[in-house]
Amino acid sequence: MQIEKKFKVLNAPFVHLIFTDEFHRLKQLESQDNIGYISIDGNNCVNISSLFDEFSRKMRFPDYFSDNWNSFDECINDLSWLEAEKYLISINDADKVLLGDDRNFGAFIEILYDTCVEWEEGREYGELVTVPTPFHVVFHCTVDKENYIIERIRHIGMDKIDIIK
């Protein structure tokens, strides 16, 4: 299976769950086709503060970023400092993300999904203009956590996901 093809195109689904050994191949995409590959460690996202820290550090958010959803949404929808033609956020150990905090997990997933759609459509906000750009999010966890993460994502109303086994 050539999973990397899924992440180079500008069409849904944008949120993927991977339960296969091919997950390690995602890192190889970083050097291909000017893909901005961001690897997020779910173990560093167990609460909202640590999630903001992990994303801010790995995505090199600007100094004005503050620890709240509005600021997170603004920064993840800009990314002008990364200068990539495509974006792929890979979240390993996704079952650990905001563990026990379904409200914030729901906000997180909603922002990620809306971000994918916004990048797909292209944006025009004053001086910030972007062409339609592929933006995908991959959640990965071990096979024994497969049902848990699928149910957790579907529980918050997200049914537009691609499950790769």
Give 31-59 pLDDT, tens digit per residue.
566 788 899 999 999 999 999 999 999 99
Higher pLDDT, 5 or 34: 34
Determine the average pLDDT of the residues in 12-38: 65
In the chain, where are the structural domains located? 3-164
- How does DSSP assign 107-161, residue by residue? HHHHHHHHHHHHHHH-EEETTEEE----EEEEEE--GGGHHHHHHHHHHTT---E
Residue 1: pLDDT over 50: no
State the CATH class of domain 3-164: alpha beta
- On the CB side of 63, how many CA atoms lie within 13 Å of its CA? 0
